[in-house]
Chains A and B, each alone.
Chain A
Amino acid sequence: MGEKLTHAMEPHNVFTMNLFGLKIPVSDLVVTMWVIMAVMIILAVFLTRKLTLIPNKRQNIAEIVVEFINNMVKDAIGPHYWKAFAPYLGTVILFLIFANTVSIFNIIPGGEEGFKLRPPTRNINVTLCLAVMSICVVIYAGIRYKGVGGWLKSFAKPTPVMLPFNILDYLIKPASLALRLFGNILGAFIVMELIYMALPVFAPAFLSLYFDLFDGILQAYVFMFLTSIYISEALE
Chain B
Amino acid sequence: MTGTGIIAIAAAISAFTGIGAGIGISLATGKAVEGIARQPEAAGSIRTSLLLGAALAEATAIYGLVVALVLVFLKMG
Contacts and interface: CB of A to CB of B under 8 A. Distances in A.
Given A6-B73, A9-B73, A186-B69, A179 B52 contact: no
A182 interface: yes
Contacts of A225: 48, 51-52, 55
A194 to B, nearest CB: 13
A90 interface: no
Interface stretch (B22-30, B31-39, B60-68): B60-68
B51 A182 contact: no
30 contacts: A6-B73, A9-B73, A176-B59, A179-B59, A179-B62, A179-B63, A179-B66, A180-B55, A180-B58, A180-B59, A180-B62, A182-B66, A183-B62, A183-B63, A183-B65, A183-B66, A184-B62, A186-B69, A187-B62, A187-B65, A221-B51, A222-B51, A222-B52, A222-B55, A225-B48, A225-B51, A225-B52, A226-B52, A226-B55, A229-B52
A63 interface: no
Given A9-B73, A180-B55, A186-B69, A75 B48 contact: yes
A59 B59 CA distance: 38
Chain B, interface size category, equals 10 to 19
Contacts of A190: 69
Contacts of B69: 186, 190
Chain A, interface size category, equals 10 to 19
Given A225-B55, A226-B55, 7 more contacts: A180-B59, A183-B65, A184-B62, A186-B69, A221-B51, A222-B51, A226-B52
Contacts of B48: 75, 225
A125 to B, nearest CB: 14
Interface of A: 6, 9, 75, 176, 179-180, 182-184, 186-187, 190, 221-222, 225-226, 229
A54 to B, nearest CB: 30
B40 to A, nearest CB: 19
A180 B55 CA distance: 9
A186 B68 CA distance: 12
A75 B47 CA distance: 13
B17 to A, nearest CB: 11
A78 to B, nearest CB: 14
A166 B58 CA distance: 23
A182 B55 CA distance: 13
Contacts of B65: 183, 186-187
A59 B62 CA distance: 39
